[in-house]
Amino acid sequence: IYEQFYHDALSKETSGKAGKSTTVPSPQADNPGVALHAVDDELEDKSLEESELKHGAGTHYTPANLVHDALRRTLTSTCLASHPKILDPACGSGIFLVEAFRRIVRYEAQGRKRKLSPDELRDILQHRIFGIEINAEAARVAAFSLYLALLDQQEPPDIASGGALPYLLHSGLRDQKHFGILIVSDAFALTNDEHEILSKRVAAKKAYKGRAVDVSLLANAGILDLPLGGFDVVIGNPPWQEAPALPRSWATAFKLPEGEGAYSQLFIHRALTLLREGGKLGLLVGMKVFWNDRDTSRAFRSHLLAHAALRQLVNMAHVRRVFFAKAVAPFAFLLAEKRPPIPDERVVIWNARRIRAVDRLRSMAAVPLDRRVVVQGDLADADYLWKAFWWGGHRDAALLSRLALERTLGETVKNADPQPRYGWQRGSTSPSGKVAVLPELSNRKVQPFGRLQDSWFVPPPTGIKRDPDQRIYSGQRLVITHGVREPIGPVTRLESRE
């Protein structure tokens, strides 16, 4: 139901703007029941607008078995014994909140050896379950789902005598009739504490670097009526695509490295600010958080490793299409604690493998998991270990460590002319020169060995986004495809043909 109304709304909005704009409107739904996925190797050569239109902006309801697995790893018996206060910062239709509520109720009922009373159930809902959602319609679906979960735990006489259900959507008032646990807001709106910090900073100095960003946030970001450090657990499945201006400005204002500006990176930051010291973070995030090699992403990972103790990482790249049929971006589950890691503390990395039983049952219970254990400090010292342990083991890591002593390809071609660079990218500008006449080597069909086959080529591009130095199309060179082709990785060929 959630996916359907969301996609229908997108279609109506798109058709209403037909002919007025070439950009497909993005719903920007910060939903953990919902993932707005980035484009992978099969779609990288298409514009973002085209892929959003094709896949309904990549909006997907998180499968229940993924939710149960994430909660099983996060809401352990030890965690539930501490009566945790739980937040989903992008709750969508509320599946994480509903299942967390049910898990808490089961645990409490087992401990008391009886069913919980209606008052006890409402107390759990009021004080231990919270969600943020930018889309008001999605928040209403989440409220309805939580009502059903609440009523499902009660007998008809209790329901009949219980009186009106409480208001769950936040309207500025919180009391016994107005729980206000679902906040319709951007998760990166300013909390009262953050608003005070920026207000004092702006008032203290007339001019400083970043003042314009602070002033803009104070004027436009809005207020998020939740406390910093007020939650024991932050869990969910926030969007995976590139974030808009507000989350990036928020990160800039509070001196947090934004990496590539991906929602996954920024929601990890947001989750850590809302957690108490020692609180647990359990998020489904885009895999590029761990894979991107740019200096900005390395800076993000260094900050994360310094401020959080990573407990588990579950690599879902190989099974991503099992759980999200139309979603093509690789993703992972991250479990961490908000505290500095202790020396030699270890991270467990699980790699999910796709087998026939997984395709048939579409269940996490059928997914075989390869286990790796790595010292968190080693990940901070040698960034390449992220990929080494996703796809290999300790011997692969040792080999890479030895190879790091040798001269790199980058050092070898440092003074080359022209410099290594990206090829053309699809766009709306007419190509010129060689780009207009040379056939394209298909990113999907080219193989890593053997002679070039005619079937690997497609016609020259009709529109480009940028036209790089045309000398890169001539002479001996390494040609590397976009993306990772399972299970062999990127395809690289040494070529001399134009």
What pLDDT was estimated at residue 10?
59
Of the pLDDT bands very low, low, confident and very high (cuts 50, 70, 90), residue 1 is low
Of 246-255, 352-361, 453-462, the poorest mean pLDDT is in 352-361
Contact 223, 191 (CB under 8 A): yes
Q: What is the pLDDT of residues 155-181, one digit of tens each?
A: 999 999 888 999 999 999 999 999 999
> What is the pLDDT confidence band of residue 480, given thresholds at 50, 70 and 90?
confident
Q: Is the pLDDT of residue 227 over 70?
A: yes
Can you read off the two tokens belonging to residue 167?
């208001």
pLDDT over threshold 70, residue 60: no
Token digits of residue 432 = 């010129």
**pLDDT confidence tier of residue 3, bands split at 50, 70 and 90:** low
Tell me the average pLDDT of the chain: 86
79 touches 233 (CB < 8 A): yes
Q: If pLDDT is split at 50, 70 and 90, which confidence band does 473 have? A: confident
pLDDT of res. 42 = 33
pLDDT of the residue at 80:
98
Confidence of residue 23 (pLDDT cuts 50, 70, 90): very low
The pLDDT of residue 29: 36
In this prediction the pTM is: 0.79
State pLDDT tens for residues 119-143.
999 999 999 999 999 999 999 999 9
Q: Residue 194: which pLDDT band, with cuts at 50, 70 and 90?
A: very high
399 has a pLDDT exceeding 70:
yes
Q: Tokens for 95, please give them.
A: 């599946």
